[in-house]
Amino acid sequence: MLKRAWNWRPQTDRQKWLTVIAVAVLSGGAAAAIAVGPVRGPLLMLAGYSLLLGWTSTEGRRGRQARLALAARLDAIRPGEVDPAVVSLLRSGKKIQAIKRYRQLTGTSLHDAKTYIDSL
């Protein structure tokens, strides 16, 4: 098990970010342990905040899989079937703007437009 842990390498962006933050927290924790009392608390809070910020700002596996699945579905759309502006908005992750654009083009209701965009 120790050999497996030693040979492990980060695969995703989130794993890479957390590895960097873990090293920073460990070195910051060592600095905080050495630091004088008034500086220790803010150093530990900064390390914790950095860890939380890094975790929330990176894309998880589910998000990446959903993005790749959407890209595959959008690639399967035949030219002319859907307006290119709607497809480009969906590719860039702007789902609400894509629904709005689809409604402008077709004049459908919000519910129908959302259902259609979700089906893509």
Top pLDDT among 42 and 88 is at: 88
| SS (HEC) of 12-52 | CHHHHHHHHHHHHHHHHHHHHHHCCHHHHHHHHHHHHHHHH
* Phi and psi based region of residue 80 (left: phi greater than 0; alpha: psi -120 to 50; beta: remaining): left
Q: Is 47 exposed, middle or buried (0-12, 13-18, 19+ CB in 10 A)?
A: buried
Computed over every residue of the chain, the mean pLDDT equals 78
What pLDDT was estimated at residue 41?
73
Top pLDDT among 99 and 6 is at: 99
Q: Is the dihedral of CA 62, 64, 66, 72 positive or negative?
A: negative
24 contact partners, CB below 8 Å, separation of at least 6: 47, 50
Asked whether the predicted pLDDT for residue 104 surpasses 60, the reply is yes
Residue 100 pLDDT grade (very low, low, confident, very high; cuts 50, 70, 90): very high
For the chain, give every domain's residue range.
2-57, 61-119
